[in-house]
Structure 1
Amino acid sequence: MLKGLGQLGDMAKMMKAAKEMQERMVALQEELGRIVVIGEAGAGLVKARVTAKGDLTGLEIDPTILVASEKEVVEDLIVAAVKEAQAKAIARQAEEQRKLMTELGLPTDMPIPG
């Protein structure tokens, strides 16, 4: 379509590629909101569910620790489970971004805005 226009044709290709990348990034952000990772503490007595975007969506506490443990122990387990889930979310987000960059033919260590 833009054959023979030299640099204008290259610019059109670059704009198309940039638009595709932007669309793919929006889709990735939506997907990260649907991916859920789980962090655990106390051998699974406390579980935290977090989206790959880092949003805490749920907390599961085995009722036996509420009776047998001190308040501070339960609080520490909750914090530990949430931190583990958040770390898994960050790792999953990075993994998904690396996949996208590979699919787009870009360096996987290139920083992505957003």
Structure 2
Amino acid sequence: MLKGLGGLGDMAKMMKAAQEMQGKMAQLQVDLANITVEGESGAGLVKATATAKGTLTGLDIDPSIFNSDDKEVVEDLILAAIKDAQEKALERTKEETRKLTEEMGLPAGMDLPV
């Protein structure tokens, strides 16, 4: 179709590939907002739920830990569960991004903006 126009055919292929990548990245953003992960602390006494984008969506606290003498322990458990959920969200984001780069034939370890 673009024979005789030099590198314009290659440029058209590159533009098409860039548009495809942009569409897949947009879909990945939607997917990450819908994937949930759960972090926990205190052997499951405190659980935090977050999206793979790291947005905290829920917190479940076992009532057995509520004791006014243990206020600092409870606060630490809550923070630990949230941190665990955020770490799992980051790992899931990396995993989903890695899958996308492999699917698109991009080099392993290529960091895509998410």
Alignment gaps of 5+ in structure 1:
none
Rounded to whole Å, the distance in 1 between the matches of 2:69 and 2:108 is 45
Alignment gaps of 5+ in structure 2:
none
Runs of 4+ in 1 over 6 A off after TM superposition: none
TM-score, scaled relative to structure 2? 0.94
- 1:15 aligns with 15
Closer/same/farther in 2, CA of residues 42 and 69 from structure 1, 3 Å limit: farther
**In the TM superposition, what is the alpha-carbon distance from 1:112 to its structure 2 partner?**
1.0
**In the TM superposition, what is the alpha-carbon distance from 1:93 to its structure 2 partner?**
0.3
- 1:36 aligns with 36
Q: Look up the SS of the partner of 2:40 in the other structure.
A: strand
Q: Which moved more, 1:68-77 or 1:39-48?
A: 68-77
TM-score, scaled relative to structure 1? 0.94
Rounded to whole Å, the distance in 2 between the matches of 1:20 and 1:95 is 20
Rounded to whole Å, the distance in 1 between the matches of 2:20 and 2:31 is 16
Rounded to whole Å, the distance in 1 between the matches of 2:93 and 2:112 is 11
Q: Deviations over 1:6-42 (max 9, x none)?
A: 3000000000000000110000011000000000000
For residues 23-102 of structure 1, the aligned pairs below 5 Å read 23-67=23-67, 70-102=70-102
CA RMSD, Structure 1 to Structure 2 (Å): 1.3
Q: Deviations over 1:80-109 (max 9, x none)?
A: 001111111110000000000001100121
Rounded to whole Å, the distance in 1 between the matches of 2:78 and 2:16 is 46
1:110 counterpart letter in structure 2? M
Report sequence identity in percent: 65
